[in-house]
Amino acid sequence: MIFKKIDDKSKQIQTLQELLSRSTSEAQKKLISTDLKKVKAGIEAEKENAYYLDFEFDKSKNIILIHDIRLEHDGRTAQFDHLLISRFGIELLETKSSKGTMTINNDGSLNLKNGKYINTYPNPLEQSKRHAAVLKDFITSSELFSKRVEIFGGVDITSTVLINPKTTLTNKELPTGFERADSFISKRTKEIENIGFFKALGMISTGYNIDKAKEMAQMLVDMHKAVEFDYTKKYKIAKKAAIEEAQQETPVDVIRKVEIEEATNQCPRCKEGELVVRKTKSKKAQEKHTNNEFMGCNRYPKCRYTEDVS
């Protein structure tokens, strides 16, 4: 059963597309385009993996599926791509995808090769463990379960990194904790349905059952706090409306501009003539003015006021 779908992230894409269309800097446009590609790729990977999970677990009565959860607890934050909750525990699922080639190193770090470029990313399982600690503390503080659950070690929380089926992997065998999204689903369904008798008996004795699992799932959905990255702060570009407003001048604005221009061109000495551009022909004028042009009153020779061209 599905308790929560993926959050709608179309607003992020729209914002980046709008920023890209308004930017006048080629360097900035490249950065915005890079972010736009990353956001689109991330959303696409989440949706594709969610499709495989939804297809299998939508009608399941024993497995609860939650997508895209952000949890804040005790000053810490945890982000989960997908959560599988059953009466036997919780599994954190981290989505990874790449249009290039992925290599999972011995230490769990990832090398992503796209063309000539290779980027290295830290072990996603380590990050998942930190998020698991936040989730465990949250569950404990909620007092949803009886003390018997804590005595038996609490709710079991595990982590798995799901690799998108379309991603090209160089590894012949996947390290522990990494699985293909499509093959993971059928495998995990069988494991949960065929759980060992003694483990099932132990969990039942603690009072943790599917109904409690549903309560916990709903509690997590209620505590979800979606936060979207504000790209308008990262890329400071004047809003299109503000630009258009500045370009739409009223007759009063135009008149005022003419008045300012006329006041600027008026000769400051005689107050009657206007300043016009003149060429420095005489030796005296060349010595007085640094450029081969200067501003002079058009009432010359009655008014001999001059100034350098600004």
Which H or E element spans position 163? strand 157-163
Is pLDDT above 50 for 245? no
Spatial distance between the Cα atoms of 299 and 303, rounded to a whole number of angstroms? 5
| C-alpha 279, offset from chain centre | 59
**Structural domains of the chain, with CATH:** 2-234 (3.40.91), 249-308 (no CATH)
Q: Is the peptide bond before 251 cis (omega within 30 degrees of 0)?
A: no
Rounded CA separation 91/204 (Å): 19
> Over the stretch 103-144, which tens digit does the pLDDT of each residue have?
999 999 999 888 888 888 899 999 899 999 999 888 888 776
What pLDDT is recorded for position 130?
Answer: 92
One-letter amino acid at 49 equals: N
pLDDT digits (tens, 9 = 90+) for 59-78: 888 889 999 999 999 889 99
Residues 6+ apart with CB under 8 A from 192: 62, 63, 86, 88
Taking the C-alpha atoms of residue 135 and residue 207, their distance in angstroms, rounded to an integer, is 20
- Predicted confidence at residue 83, as pLDDT, reads 92
Strands 157-163 and 178-180: what pairing?
parallel
Query: What pLDDT score does 280 carry?
Result: 74
Q: Residue 8: pLDDT above 90?
A: no
Biggest CA-to-CA distance, the chain: 113
Task: Give the pLDDT of residue 145.
Answer: 64
Q: Which of the two residues, 72 and 192, has the higher pLDDT score?
A: 72
Average pLDDT, integer, range 220-233: 84
Query: Do residues 96 and 45 lie in contact, with contact meaning Cβ atoms separated by under 8 Å?
Result: yes
Alpha-carbon distance 79 to 68, whole Å?
7
Separation between Cα atoms, residue 305 and residue 307, nearest integer Å: 7
With a CB cutoff of 8 Å and minimum separation 6, the contacts of 302 are 270
pLDDT at 178: 92
Please tell me the number of Cα atoms within 13 Å of 19 on its side-chain side. 23
pLDDT at 248 over 70: no
Which of 131-145, 190-204, 281-295: highest mean pLDDT?
A: 131-145
Instruction: Count CB neighbours of 299 within 10 A.
Output: 15
Question: Which residue is listed with tokens 């011995």?
Answer: 106
Higher pLDDT, 28 or 45: 28
* Per-residue pLDDT reduced to its tens digit, 35-55: 898 888 878 877 887 888 888
Is pLDDT larger for residue 270 or for residue 153?
270
Side chain identity, residue 72: E
